[in-house]
Structure 1
């Protein structure tokens, strides 16, 4: 294995581990309340977790925008700019978290209705929300810190923090629920504690990297903040990049929400089938996102250093890994997909009902691979307009294909539209990269 591949794997593997552990925060909550013996608690935690997933997913630009700009500054060896970006993203992330706390009553009112919260779970969802919302500054600050670490070519720290968060969440939730008997409040408090522990540990790790590794010499934090506030042009660039990512995220949310909603309109069985099959996409995305993070760090570094040869080689190697992963997951799904579905549910009727649609799930890795790889490259180059363009084109394709085929093909049309969405994202990304970027 040469140095190029070794560098990609050094960054990708910790990111893959981090990605896999992220959903565990919500799963731990569900597992704990699942042993209390009340189905109302389970639905309350499920709805409460979904509320925060939606809120934070829309603000994912805090991680992605920070990653690209930091990796470029790292490639230029601009240590002061690396620190300025960190302070800038922390100010925005923590500030928005505080804004969420201030506006929590309005957010709670709207989200509980948007999620169609069952009447029996309403009080428990509200209890969960009113506790976990106090972790918003920590979570949004952590988004920025994670992006900064990736840009600094350090994916190991986010991995360790993610593992630590889950350990804290498990132990704290078990203690609060089963020792103190706090019920849903105990689960929420455990999650809140894990969020703040993760943020504070990451903040300390960033401080250590700044002062020990030598991003900048030890200097007055107040002076750094003054510099950041005074650099209006840099703030404009920061918001330009993040605006494109935010709009791109809205396109993704629109497609995902419509996919779920359309499945629900076909009845609980089709909704269950689509939910199970989408786990095959989710599993593949966890792996490919790890390589996308490596692409963010390395492409930004070489672009910032003006190394076009290094950038091209990195993109080619990323596509090489992407092809290998796509073939591996396709074979795994073809030969083990049914067995995987049986692991997810003991209801054989749902698995049987999923059989006619398994073929579409088998195509996900091959059709979707290019979009994952180029998303990472675009973020590293801060070519976020390309991400927005490709996702918007893909969203339009999704709805056109769906409405053209729906009356004749039903749920098959939904899956064909989703695969068209994934494929168009990759095709449009390649076309944009060939037209505007020097990476092929």
Structure 2
């Protein structure tokens, strides 16, 4: 079982780690310019697109879970119909996003506050990056489908290619053409479309035979569409909670001042970097849990759950140790502004304990997605957001200021894992009722 997990997890980690590396490069490019407003602009712009795109990440998660179960049941035609159905929906959603870009921009900057200079740059970033919507959502679908087919290598190839291309373009636009935050946005748009081209090429290279199963009526079958939207509506609510928490975190940071916004934007990279590593094992959980549900193997399902927590705990301990001994070094890589580094060091202990307190929530998400236990995952997230995160922040903020944002974030991550642990016996019984 460990071999199967690592076979899927390692390519996912390699592909995932290019994402925070991209974020780190963007942040470092802005951090080495002559003003901290560029960091704030990219941070605010990124939050808006996280809100938009993370909200539709169900296109990846739902596609992965359903495809893995179809793979376990050896239903080739259904696996192809899942891909076609998800691509059709992602295209429709992306066209709606582009057509509504002006009201989305207006609403976004009504909700997120920043200084006038930061907001002007963030708007410029938004107006460029919005055109990547069809490619971004298309990549969600392709990578989720490849993973469901137990193929972690193709998402790795598409992610590495797109993100390396993104880094090269962003660096060129910022350093050679002096486009600053707008150059980062333009690099992202072009790289996303390259990723889609590569993903489509890989599909036809290895799965072209599946196109013989094309059946329009099967793709838009009301029963399957209803099931798809039911699971994905729960995942949407779950993801919306994540988006809300991170948007709240950034918005409250910006409401303090540009300096704290820049500090928190730098520090949150530590959490995101760990998240993309641990998500490698969570994605392996999606693929394997879904496969064993399709094969109706309760014993293998339980075994993969235990193994994933073993690997997750080891990774969490390793990252906490890394952040303990190298936090100042990492900060100096992200920015050469000494005032930001010194302020960030005041909050370093929250970063050190983050991996240990949060890893369970990531592992459980992968298992729940593979089992399409979307309702339980949704309820856990709602509980962590409404009952833990918000009360935690508002109770502590008057006493400890910006520290309250970090305490509330850690309580949010921890409580997600706790809620899902208590709900797991129910998920197990529902998934394997005859066992």
Q: TM-score, normalised by structure 2?
A: 0.87
The answer to whether residue 294 in structure 2 is matched with residue 297 in structure 1 is no
Larger relative contact order (Cα-Cα within 8 Å, sequence gap ≥ 6): 2
CA distance in 2, matches of 1:180, 1:268: 26
* Equivalent position of 2:252 in the other structure: 262
Alpha carbons 1:302, 1:310 under 8 Å: kept: yes
The answer to whether residue 399 in structure 2 is matched with residue 403 in structure 1 is no
Aligned partner of 2:228 among 222, 238, 256: 238
* Equivalent position of 1:88 in the other structure: 85
Alpha carbons 2:57, 2:140 under 8 Å: kept: yes
1:437 alignment partner, SS class: helix
CA distance in 2, matches of 1:120, 1:394: 35
* Equivalent position of 2:239 in the other structure: 249
Alpha carbons 1:29, 1:187 under 8 Å: kept: yes
* Equivalent position of 1:360 in the other structure: 350
92-101 vs 21-30, which moves further: 21-30
CA distance in 1, matches of 2:132, 2:118: 22
CA distance in 2, matches of 1:403, 1:316: 36
* Equivalent position of 1:417 in the other structure: 408
The answer to whether residue 216 in structure 2 is matched with residue 219 in structure 1 is no
* Equivalent position of 1:78 in the other structure: 75
Instruction: Report deviation, 1:27.
Output: 6.0
Root-mean-square deviation (Å): 3.2
Instruction: Report deviation, 1:130.
Output: 4.3
Instruction: Report deviation, 1:283.
Output: 1.9
Q: Deviations over 1:234-283 (max 9, x none)?
A: 10111111111111112112222233333444545544443343332222
* Equivalent position of 2:363 in the other structure: 373
Pair 1:262–1:157, CA change in 2 (3 A)? same
CA distance in 2, matches of 1:251, 1:188: 25
2:347 alignment partner, SS class: helix
8-17 vs 326-335, which moves further: 326-335
Aligned partner of 1:12 among 6, 9, 14: 9
* Equivalent position of 1:339 in the other structure: 329
1:346 alignment partner, SS class: coil
Alpha carbons 1:87, 1:225 under 8 Å: kept: no
Q: Deviations over 1:370-389 (max 9, x none)?
A: 11111000000010111111
Alpha carbons 2:50, 2:243 under 8 Å: kept: no
Pair 1:321–1:30, CA change in 2 (3 A)? closer
- Write the mapping of 1:296-315 to structure 2, written as runs, cut at 5 A: 296-315=286-305
Alpha carbons 1:33, 1:187 under 8 Å: kept: no
The answer to whether residue 271 in structure 2 is matched with residue 278 in structure 1 is no
309-318 vs 105-114, which moves further: 105-114
- Write the mapping of 1:43-192 to structure 2, written as runs, cut at 5 A: 47-116=44-113, 128-170=125-167, 188-192=185-189
Instruction: Report deviation, 1:152.
Output: 0.8
1:363 alignment partner, SS class: helix
CA distance in 1, matches of 2:172, 2:346: 45
Alpha carbons 1:40, 1:121 under 8 Å: kept: yes
1:154 alignment partner, SS class: coil
CA distance in 1, matches of 2:164, 2:233: 35
1:306 alignment partner, SS class: coil
CA distance in 2, matches of 1:88, 1:429: 29
Pair 1:236–1:194, CA change in 2 (3 A)? same
CA distance in 1, matches of 2:315, 2:89: 36
CA distance in 1, matches of 2:124, 2:400: 43
Whose Rg is larger? 1
CA distance in 1, matches of 2:35, 2:398: 41
Note the residue ranges of structure 2 that are not aligned, 5 or more in a row: none
Instruction: Report deviation, 1:37.
Output: 8.1
CA distance in 2, matches of 1:85, 1:381: 16
Instruction: Report deviation, 1:309.
Output: 1.1
Note the residue ranges of structure 1 that are not aligned, 5 or more in a row: none
Instruction: Report deviation, 1:322.
Output: 1.0
CA distance in 2, matches of 1:180, 1:339: 29
CA distance in 1, matches of 2:95, 2:426: 41
Instruction: Report deviation, 1:174.
Output: 6.8
Alpha carbons 2:5, 2:281 under 8 Å: kept: yes
Pair 1:349–1:322, CA change in 2 (3 A)? same
Instruction: Report deviation, 1:355.
Output: 4.3
CA distance in 1, matches of 2:169, 2:333: 28
109-118 vs 97-106, which moves further: 109-118
Pair 1:152–1:111, CA change in 2 (3 A)? same
